Structure 1
Amino acid sequence: MKPTNEDTVEIAQVLALWGHIMDDREWGRLGEVLTKDAVWDASAFGFEPVAGLEAITSVLSSDGHARAHHTTNIVVSEGPGEEARVRSKGLGVMDGGTVISAVYTDELRRAADGWRISRRAIHLNRP
């Protein structure tokens, strides 16, 4: 489907909320940004890809994640059916203050209560 301007704003809100949930470690709120069957792939950081809110929560609550997440450069494009494809940049502040740059490639699905990420892959930008 071709996303409308309203869809694009709602999707950007979901990506922004992701960062707040991560930084505040509010794992119980992941359902506000992810589908129940979401796939989370951060293999670029040494994590095995996982599927489902429970498995994602387990990985995200472990050590080794950025302490601050900032999503930028959001580009929303057409996806099949009621889905959208999104590419965005992410800046993460690690323990000790090191800043990393990543690219998120997301698939989002429209649910009854709004847009949700159904698949997220994180790619590390290396200098």
Structure 2
Amino acid sequence: MQPTNDDTVEITRVLSLLNHLMDDHEMDRLGECLTEDAFWDGTVFGFEPAIGLKAIVSVLSAEGHALAHHTTNFVISDGPGEEVHVRSKGLGLRADGSVVSVVFMDDLRHTADGWRISKHVIHVK
């Protein structure tokens, strides 16, 4: 799917909202950003991969995550069907005060409720 300008704005909003929900510990709202069958891969930070919204909420509720998440430099590419691929950069403030730079590789699917993340993989750069 080739995203329109409106799609690009909504996709960016969903990816940004995810950071706010994680930082504000509003895990009950993650369905506003993720599909029910989403795949989450934070193995680069020692977390087990998770499939499904409930499993992802469990992983994101565990100790050891960054205290603040900031995502920038969104590059949205065509995907199959009603999907797009997004590569973005991220900065995270860790509990010890250090900052980590990452690359997020996301797949988003257009659903009846709008754009939702179906796959989220984190790479350290």
Q: TM-score range by the shorter chain?
A: over 0.9
Find the counterpart in structure 1 of residue 15 from structure 2.
15
Gaps of 5+ in 1: none
Offset from partner CA, 1:65-108 (integer Å, 9 cap, x none): 00000000000110000000000001000002110000000000
Gaps of 5+ in 2: none
Q: What is the CA–CA distance in structure 1 between the aligned matches of 2:77 and 2:5, rounded to whole Å?
A: 11
Alpha-carbon shift at residue 46 of structure 1 (Å): 1.1
Are 1:109 and 2:113 matched, yes or no? no
Q: What is the CA–CA distance in structure 2 between the aligned matches of 1:43 and 1:68, rounded to whole Å?
A: 18
Task: Tell me which amino acid in the other structure corresponds to 1:92.
Answer: G
Find the counterpart in structure 2 of residue 58 from structure 1.
58
Offset from partner CA, 1:4-42 (integer Å, 9 cap, x none): 111111000001101100100000000000000000001
Are 1:86 and 2:86 matched, yes or no? yes
> Which of structure 1's runs of 4+ aligned residues deviate more than 3 A?
none
Task: Tell me which amino acid in the other structure corresponds to 1:104.
Answer: F
Q: What is the CA–CA distance in structure 2 between the aligned matches of 1:59 and 1:2, rounded to whole Å?
A: 32
SS in structure 2 opposite 1:110? strand
Find the counterpart in structure 1 of residue 25 from structure 2.
25
SS in structure 2 opposite 1:57? helix
Q: What do you get for the CA RMSD once the two structures are aligned?
A: 0.6
Alpha-carbon shift at residue 122 of structure 1 (Å): 0.3
Identity %: 63
Equivalenced residue count is 125
Are 1:4 and 2:4 matched, yes or no? yes
Task: Tell me which amino acid in the other structure corresponds to 1:94.
Answer: R
Q: Given the two structures, how large is their TM-score scaled by the length of structure 1?
A: 0.97
Q: What is the CA–CA distance in structure 2 between the aligned matches of 1:50 and 1:60, rounded to whole Å?
A: 10
